[in-house]
Amino acid sequence: MEFSLWLGTKATASDVAYFKKTIELCALLIRGRNMRNATTVQSLLPYELVQAVITSPALNSGLLVDGTDRRLVVTHFVQLAIDAYLDHEPHEVMMRVGVQRIWSNVERAADSRRMTSYITTVLPEEFDWQRFDGLKEYMRQSTPTRLVATHVAENRLVGTLLHAAHCLLRFGFYSTDETVALVPVVLAVLDSAGERVGLHADEAPDERYRLRVDPGCNTLLVMECKV
């Protein structure tokens, strides 16, 4: 991919810094479903391009010219995908669960089946349920079986990918079989048994519970991945 090649090998440090801030700004401009800005951002960065950047092998390993991990760029694009394409219209109105709260005549309401929630579904005329399959597969392959606090860039990416997975689950893009396959991935993140701080080989078992927040080691970020 020409873009990945430029960003990974030809861009200067100032180019990289400017580019990362630009992508972050694009995501912020449309967060909260700002439809006016969203149309502009989506025309500049169509989903196919966003997914190609996220899944590009050239951007999923190594360092950029400014010394930062290339996966930080991928993380920015995953967040952009969330704001511009996942947590966005028409998905919010497409699948909705209506909840009823009843404070009286409970037995009568139960007999008439009014105690249960109901689902209202409104689908666009042309809708592609497979649109995010590439992103889902990337999530499955990129989420590690254990978290290490010194792998800061990887953990930031994992946390953002899990946010994306939550959006896809919420709006019905995971089938039952895909959800079953996703469960071990999520459990691996939640399971603290294999986690390490990563500063030295003979660390104490309770060392990962100590708060460390610096550019080279971030235990708080590990906990945020679980949330």
Cis amide prior to 57 (ω within 30 degrees): no
Q: Is the pLDDT of residue 97 over 70?
A: no
Q: What is the mean pLDDT of the chain?
A: 83
In the chain, the N- to C-terminal Cα span, in Å, equals: 34
Q: In the prediction, which pLDDT does 65 show?
A: 79
pLDDT at 94: 65
Query: What span, in angstroms and rounded, lies between the C-alpha atoms of 33 and 53?
Result: 23
Please state at what angle helix 13-30 crosses helix 71-81, rounded to 10 degrees: 20
Q: What would the pLDDT profile of 132-174 be if each residue is shown by its tens digit?
A: 999 999 999 988 888 999 999 999 999 999 999 999 988 888 9
**Domain spans of the chain?**
1-89, 91-125, 128-227
Which pLDDT band holds residue 27 (cuts at 50, 70, 90)? Answer: confident
In angstroms, the Cα distances linking 79 to 67, 84, 86, 98, 183 are 21, 9, 10, 28, 22
The pLDDT tens digits for 163-211 are 999 999 888 889 889 999 999 989 988 887 778 888 888 888 778 778 8
Residue 58 has a pLDDT of 84
Least confident of 11-15, 108-112, 206-210: 108-112
Q: Which of 14, 171, 12, 1 is nearest to 77 (CA)?
A: 1
Q: Distance between alpha carbon 138 and the CA centroid of its chain, in Å?
A: 11
